[in-house]
Amino acid sequence: MTGPDKKVADFRSDTVTRPTDEMRKAMAEAVVGDDVLGDDPTVLELERVAADIMGKEAALYVPSGTMGNSIAVKAWTQELDEVIVEERSHIYNMESTAITFISRVLPRPLVSDRGSMDPGLVEDNIKIPSVHMPRTSLICVENSHNNWSGSVLSLQNVKEIRDVADRYGIRIHMDGARIFNASHATGVPVKDYAACADSLMFCLSKGLSAPVGSLLVGPQDFIDYGRRLRKALGGGMRQVGVLAAAGLIALQKMTKRIKDDNRRARALAEKLTAHPGVVLDPEKVDTNIVIFGLDHPRYTIPDFLQALRERGVWALATRGGIRFVTHREVDDEDVALADRVFSELLS
């Protein structure tokens, strides 16, 4: 099946999106080769297009966002280093400890204003060179920010963090898994965000609807080393042009539609907030992720999620409550269904 399964309104994640018919056709017809040997033309094209869109020298196709982030952290750091991360970031919280397991660095989590770290606080946390302390070598930022309900970073904030990083010779990696959602929300071109970071990872497999894959972009020598790290991590794939073909369509044809997901998430938030027990400020929904608390005498969060699921509305528990994510396979009817089910359960 390539279209949405209308039996449920699946708001669990934009990762549930299945490839479009056009992607499936391109996958079937893809010209392929052995990508580990560097001769899959479809992968090479995807990497070239990705680097171009982001305004970077080179790109690396990786199986997942987690691998892209892991390669970036490993490439920019050495053991005994420290990495500044935002306290709710995906890199720090949701990658099964990859940052320490793979790179063996110390994460330094900082508080933020919905994902935007104060550049002064970042500067205060850069270690002065000392035999006693780790060396700060990398700052990671996340845009849009998953666990802050899809909040976006202003270009100003990222530029100020860039200034700090430059003063101390530190790299910046941007987890831009949903950078196109952020770009639609702020009007800042993805290239401008990417220009503030040394490297950026973005996902094809979320709102862009490709079945698999992410891209890591950055300078040529970083990507060359990243290619070796990808092999070491078991991410060297052979005739993977069959997947890259879908990725090319994701990049060339699906980025524009992301604004619909952002719009629908705001509409969903406005509806849900009207129900008793829903703790949510729709003004704080910048992109396609809606996270809200539940304060209701009849339900715990697991019970409420179960009751939703029985009525065909799927969502996930997350830090701070319940998460709904909009994407290509949920439409206005699904939003209306969620609204009706909330009325039934909470009134």
**Residue ranges in contact with ligand TLP by CB under 6 A:** 13, 15, 64-66, 69, 90, 94, 142, 146, 175, 177, 203, 205, 214
Q: How many residues are present in the chain? A: 347
Query: Of the two residues 139 and 177, which places its CB atom closer to ligand TLP in the complex?
Result: 177
Q: Identify whether the C-beta of residue 202 lies closer than 8 Å to the C-beta of residue 218.
A: no
Query: Of the two residues 19 and 346, which places its CB atom closer to ligand TLP in the complex?
Result: 19
Alpha carbon distance 324, 345 (integer Å) = 17
Alpha carbon distance 61, 235 (integer Å) = 9
| Smallest gap from residue 127 Cβ to ligand TLP (A) | 26
Residue nearest to ligand TLP as judged by C-beta position: 65
| Smallest gap from residue 86 Cβ to ligand TLP (A) | 11
Token pair in block for residue 109: 């989590």
Query: Of the two residues 199 and 205, which places its CB atom closer to ligand TLP in the complex?
Result: 205
| Smallest gap from residue 204 Cβ to ligand TLP (A) | 9
Alpha carbon distance 310, 186 (integer Å) = 37
Q: Identify whether the C-beta of residue 57 lies closer than 8 Å to the C-beta of residue 218.
A: yes
| Smallest gap from residue 124 Cβ to ligand TLP (A) | 25
The full DSSP string for 40-95 is -HHHHHHHHHHHHHHT-SEEEEES-HHHHHHHHHHHH--TTEEEEEETT-HHHHSS
Query: Of the two residues 69 and 326, which places its CB atom closer to ligand TLP in the complex?
Result: 69
Query: Of the two residues 95 and 275, which places its CB atom closer to ligand TLP in the complex?
Result: 95
